[in-house]
Structure 1
Amino acid sequence: MGRVLSAICVAAALAGGGARAADELFTVVRVDVAKQDLRLFWRDDRGQPWRRLDRLADGLKARGRTLTFGMNAGMFHADASPVGLLVIDGQELAPLNLAGGEGNFFLKPNGVFLIGPQGARVVDAVDYPQWRDGVRQATQSGPLLLKGGEIHPALRPNSASRYVRNGVCVLGSQAVFVISRRAVTFHEFAVFFRDELHCRDALYLDGAVSSLYSPALGRNDRWSALGPMFGVVQDVTQP
């Protein structure tokens, strides 16, 4: 499957310009879903939530597999169950949630990241049914940071709400994961996806609990219990 394409993101390099305030704000990990085994995880063989990325890595290692990248994959309840849709290896474990409510997840439009017959994509949750045939992996979260290149109208530049945040967009065959290196506003986060990564559709995954596992980057975040998780897996014998 090859290695995960991991890099500390320097906005100036992406834009071909000089130093910017965004240069040291974000870490970007690019996963080519056409060549790499990107999956979702939730519970172990005993039906218990993994809860931490390093525990997932240890569990995979016991099976002769290596976790080369991991990240929290959407919002969850106190018992680690997903708030919205979760599909793992083609099996729907939690249904699409189009209900109203309080909190970021319910800030419509929210969205779904999926991997299906046509590769990876981020879609509005209300449009998911037209993509569900053949979906192998899917997770729902919210809000959509970007839809069609437009920032979610509720994300204000002058917001006082700042957290470490993570999210995902899709560029060609690449799922592009981003985690902030310090607390940022929703609007700052969305602008980075739009202006530096040039994404059209981007999905917010979570804040405060945002976690990254990447041996290549020396990251093994263990400060929060998690629900569903993304992981890139390869055989121990693979380079």
Structure 2
Amino acid sequence: MRRRLALLLGVLLFAGLAGLAAADQRFTVVKIDLRKERLELFLRDDAGVPFKRFDRLDAWLKERGRQLGFAMNAGMYHEDFSPVGLLVRGGREESPLNLADGAGNFFLKPNGVFLVSDAGPRVVESSEYPALAKGVRLATQSGPLLLRRGVVHPAFIPHSDSRKIRNGVGVIGHTAIFVISDVPVNFHEFALYFRDVLHCRDALYLDGTVSALHSPSLHRSDFVRELGPILGVASP
């Protein structure tokens, strides 16, 4: 109950702080204070089968006396649902950092890593990660970076007609800020929302088209497509 209440309060706090900027209803925001809540990464069950969906993950957790209070897709993945880049769960690296060049959003450099350590959450450029890897208990790599030290990704086009439902994560102090657009937006609009409304200096794009949110407090559990890695908060 405490965790579900904290998540709801995070949403209400956002509504109060953002004021009229939130009234356009283009985005849903969930703030997770990692001093109070434990964020986890989920991918496969005990038999090695990918969860793929929020309801399957929730059912698996309930069998263990836990409940999924928040979840969001955690980055890009291959056809077998394995991550394209870095994945660290429980302090163990399960998929290595990917610094290769290639086609698609993941490889639109600079890309980045969302990580959680004892020092709190961070979004960093991917090549910076190895120097920070010690003590990281959770990390997922995706791309492109939306913001790096307050600067919008140089490849973003302000009036681009490439509009999709998108989701991403930013950080302020010990708080991870998860955002999903409720209408199609372009990269530039999405980045500006993190910077100018939420006041994040660093933010990472997680995905588009497959973007989904699970939040019982918001009476919402999306299903668009089957998912790879999932970020979530579960009680107890």
TM-score range (shorter-chain normalised) is over 0.9
Q: Which ranges in structure 2 are unaligned for 5 or more consecutive residues?
A: none
Q: Which ranges in structure 1 are unaligned for 5 or more consecutive residues?
A: none
What TM-score comes out, normalization by structure 2 length?
0.94
2:11 aligns with: 7
Q: How big is the shift at 1:15? A: 4.6
| Correspondences of 1:182-201 after superposition (within 5 Å) | 182-201=183-202
Q: How big is the shift at 1:78? A: 1.1
Q: How big is the shift at 1:23? A: 2.5
2:45 aligns with: 44
| Correspondences of 1:30-179 after superposition (within 5 Å) | 30-179=31-180
Equivalent-residue separation in structure 1 for 2:10 and 2:71 (angstroms):
12
- Residue deviations 1:65-86, cap 9 Å, x none? 0110000000001110100000
- Residue deviations 1:107-146, cap 9 Å, x none? 0000000011211110110000111001100000000000
SS at match of 1:109: coil
Q: How big is the shift at 1:44? A: 0.5
Equivalent-residue separation in structure 2 for 1:169 and 1:8 (angstroms):
18
Equivalenced residues, count? 232
SS at match of 2:136: coil
SS at match of 2:24: helix
Evaluate the alpha carbon distance shift between residue 70 and residue 48 of structure 1 in structure 2; reply closer, same or farther with a 3 A threshold.
same
Say what the alpha-carbon RMSD is for the aligned residues.
1.6
Structure richer in helix, relative to its length? 2
What TM-score comes out, normalization by structure 1 length?
0.93
- 8 Å contact from structure 2 (residues 166, 181) kept in 1: yes
| Equivalent AA in structure 2 for residue 181 of structure 1 | D
2:228 aligns with: 227
Equivalent-residue separation in structure 2 for 1:21 and 1:37 (angstroms):
26
Using the aligned pairs only, state the percent identity. Answer: 59
